[in-house]
Structure 1
Amino acid sequence: MSSSTSSTPPWDVQRLPRADGSVFLVTGGNAGIGYFVAEQLSASGATVVLGSRNPAKAEVARASIRSRVPGARVRAVQLDLADLASLGTAVEALDVECLDAVVHNAGVALDGPPREETGAGHELMFGTNHLGHFALTRWLMPLLSSAPAARIVTMGSFAAKSERLDLDDLQSRHDYRPKRTYGRSKLAQMYFGLELDRRLRAVHSAVTSVVVHPGGALDSLTTSRPPVHVRTAGARLCGAPAALLVQGKHAGAWPAVRAVLDPAVRGGQLWGPRVFGLRGKPRCEPVWDHLADTLVAARLWDASCDLTGVDFGTVPG
């Protein structure tokens, strides 16, 4: 599908459309790509809520955004996706009548053993990155359904392109390899985002679900936002050669921001960077072949319901 129509101007990452009066939630909005998603969305005039495990870090991020975006409306709620039992309280703390978009961005990435678990006994990366967002979506659905045309934007990963789910070992109990487990947790998120949109369409919901990925986004190429992120001269020098292929996290935020704000974006689409899926301005790209497997997506959905105890039932319209 074309990314723009004759009635809408070409997308410009530096000149975002206005979204005054809207409310957007960004999970993990206090650091990394999530911080830049929140900062950029706040420039649209919307109220941006940072979902963060750490209130102190959220306050630092909030202050940074307010110092850089004149008149920014930004606040925070405590949100721990690894603690499924706390999600209802976190959603109540939003204290809004409707929610216009949520960006499922927060994530845990472990570099090495040992395998860790959430309090509920789920593998930490799968439990946080996928199951946490899966359950959070159910809690948010009444607020999203109350908005005129809400969007659920799921932040996947380019690392998921080369992974495949093991539906018999979703929790990596039998074969734990941290990088692979991370990639699979992000792949599970992407399957969920696409399956969710199919189910929303089936009940003619006004809510849409879009999947995005940031391409290759490195700290060494990321614009400084002290004290949230500080890029040293050494990091800048070391990262320079990589800039031919990948980008910083400020640019990695662009597909998610476009998925929230661009009226031409449609549910069920996949958005990523324009150049080889690794860097550049955001574009709609073909859904990866393995992500188009609806049988895998449906089995993952059922397993996720069982693991979280969440019953979506008929997705509300």
Structure 2
Amino acid sequence: MSSHSTAWDVRRLPDARGRHFLVTGGNAGIGYFVAEQLAGTGATVILGSRDPARAETAALSIRSRVPDARVRHVPLDLADLASVETGVEALGLESLDAVVCNAGVLLDHPPRRETGDGHELMFATNHLGHFALVARLAPLLAAAPAARVVTTGSLTARSETLDLDDLQSVRDYRPKRTYARSKLAQMLFGFELDRRLRAAGATTRSVVTHPGGALDSLTPSRPIRLRTTGERLRGLPAGLLLQGKEAAAWPAVRAVLDPSVRGGQLWGPRVLGIRGLPVLEPVRGHMADEVLAGRLWDVSAALTGLDPFADAPGGTPRPC
């Protein structure tokens, strides 16, 4: 693992001019810093966001830090399956080199909320929306020479398992648990996607990452989120264990850009999986359960009406 971390310089990223990267939730939090860092490579970065005003603020912020940054916005609400379809159409691309499935919703308190499609909000946004997005993007990803699907998971997923009979937390809704399960579903999807791509002989790779522990108080100030001196000082003690969102973006950025990264891998921070440079991690526990992942795939396809890369290597999603 040490050789991986020393060979990759998070401050000197490779040139990616001519490539196109879509980052969901790229207007805020970790997703913003993923977009900012990718924009520094010369690539065209597309912010997938449901809020045009916040996306424009993020784009202006990136341009202020990255001269001649190529960044734009497409409307994308992952909680709305119709928005996912129109958002992909709005890309106007013939190929896409990577999508970073980063956007997420974490609710702190009940009551349970549903989307307009009738799905529990966190499961719908964090997992089903990205499942449908990848399905819609399949032809664009297949048209790129070596595209990547990068799924952002969470450390919280390690302590959970999925109840396939209650994926949408109808019987047992506890917000933090429901969130963790939605992130586990995302990660299982990322691993299962790569297995199916390999079996089909496709060139697209699916990689899973997690950001470790990230705090706003340790994050560099940007127009999307200005931080006072007091906030930064109060966050200093936590810096011994945790990190800011700029550093938390490193695993996803490496998963997009590093040619040594392979499909089916898991990347996270080096120090206890919480902070530091991005390194390769073992895939263990429920995340390695291929039977569970396959069953989740079938349920997700039924709920969204799509089957990502069903016809790979051509890459056209098959309606269910």
TM-score by length of 2: 0.95
Q: Does 1:186 find its partner at 2:183?
A: yes
Report matched runs for 1:237-276 at 5 Å.
Answer: 237-276=233-272
**In 1: Cα distance, 2:169 partner to 2:230 partner:** 37
Is 1:3–1:265's contact at 8 Å kept on the other side of the alignment?
A: no
Cα deviation digits, residues 117-156 of structure 1 (max 9, x gap): 1101100000010000000000000000000000000000
Distance 1:194 1:250 in 2: 25
In structure 2, C-alpha distance between the alignment counterparts of 1:81 and 1:224, rounded to whole Å: 27
Match of 1:172 in 2: 169
**Would you say 1:116 and 2:113 are equivalent positions?**
yes
Amino acid at match of 2:307: D
- Secondary structure, counterpart of 1:283 in structure 2: strand
CA distance in 1 between counterparts of 2:300 and 2:80 reads 15
Matched letter for residue 64 of structure 2: S
Cα distance in 1, alignment partners of residues 267 and 104 from structure 2:
19
CA shift in 2, pair 1:4/1:274, >3 Å: closer
Aligned length: 313
**1:241 shift after superposition:** 1.2
**Contact between 1:52 and 1:78, CA under 8 Å: does it hold in 2?**
yes
Equivalent-residue separation in structure 2 for 1:248 and 1:76 (angstroms): 24
Distance 1:243 1:2 in 2: 22
Distance, in Å, in 2 between the alignment partners of 1:83 and 1:217 is 28
Letter in 2 for 1:204: G
For residues 138 and 18 of structure 2, the distance between their equivalents in structure 1, rounded to whole angstroms, comes to 19
User: What is the match of residue 307 of structure 2?
Assistant: 311
Alpha-carbon separation, structure 1, partners of 2:18 and 2:64: 21
| Structure 1 residues 95-110: aligned runs within 5 Å | 95-110=92-107
- 1:152 is paired with a residue whose SS is strand
Q: Kindly indicate whether residue 10 of structure 2 is the aligned counterpart of residue 17 of structure 1.
A: no
* 8 Å CA contact retained: 2:135, 2:309: no
CA drift of 1:4 comes to 4.6
Shift of 1:289: 2.0
Instruction: Tell me how far apart the structure 2 counterparts of residues 283 and 111 of structure 1 sit (CA, whole Å).
Output: 30
TM-score, normalising length from structure 1? 0.96
| Equivalent residues in 2 for 1:5-44, closer than 5 Å | 10-44=7-41
- Name 2:288's counterpart in structure 1: 292
Quickly say closer, same or farther: Cα 1:221–1:138, change in 2 above 3 A.
Answer: same
Equivalent-residue separation in structure 2 for 1:243 and 1:55 (angstroms): 33
**8 Å Cα contact 1:30-1:61 kept in structure 2:** yes
RMSD: 1.4
SS at match of 1:33: helix
Where does residue 316 of structure 2 map in the other structure? none
Q: Which amino acid aligns with 2:232?
A: R
Q: Which of 126, 129, 136 is 2:126 aligned to? A: 129
Partner residue, 1:219: 216
Matched with 2:66 is: 69
Cα displacement (A) at 1:48: 0.2
Runs ≥4 residues deviating over 2 A: 1-5, 311-315
Q: 1:118-157 maps to which residues of 2 (within 5 A)?
A: 118-157=115-154
Structure 1 residue 253: Cα displacement: 0.2
The letter of the residue matching 1:51 is G
Distance in 2, matches of 1:232 and 1:294, equals 46
Equivalent residue in structure 2 for 1:232, among 225, 228, 233: 228
Tell me, in whole angstroms, the C-alpha distance in 2 between the residues paired with 1:284 and 1:313. Answer: 26
SS of equivalent residue, structure 1 residue 106? coil
Partner Cα distance (1:250, 1:299) in 2 = 35
Alignment partner of 2:33: what SS?
helix
Letter in 2 for 1:186: K
Q: Distance in 1 between matches of 2:153 and 2:104?
A: 10
From 202, 205, 216, give the equivalent of 1:205. 202
Aligned-partner Cα distance in 1 for 2:180–2:12 = 33
Give the Å deviation of 1:234: 2.1
State the Cα distance separating 1:231 from its structure 2 match: 1.7
Question: 2-side partners of 1:125 and 1:180: how far apart?
Answer: 11
Are the equivalent residues in 1 in contact too, given 2:207–2:264 (CA < 8 A)?
yes
Unpaired stretches in structure 2, ≥5 consecutive residues: 314-320
User: 2:263 aligns to what SS in structure 1?
Assistant: coil
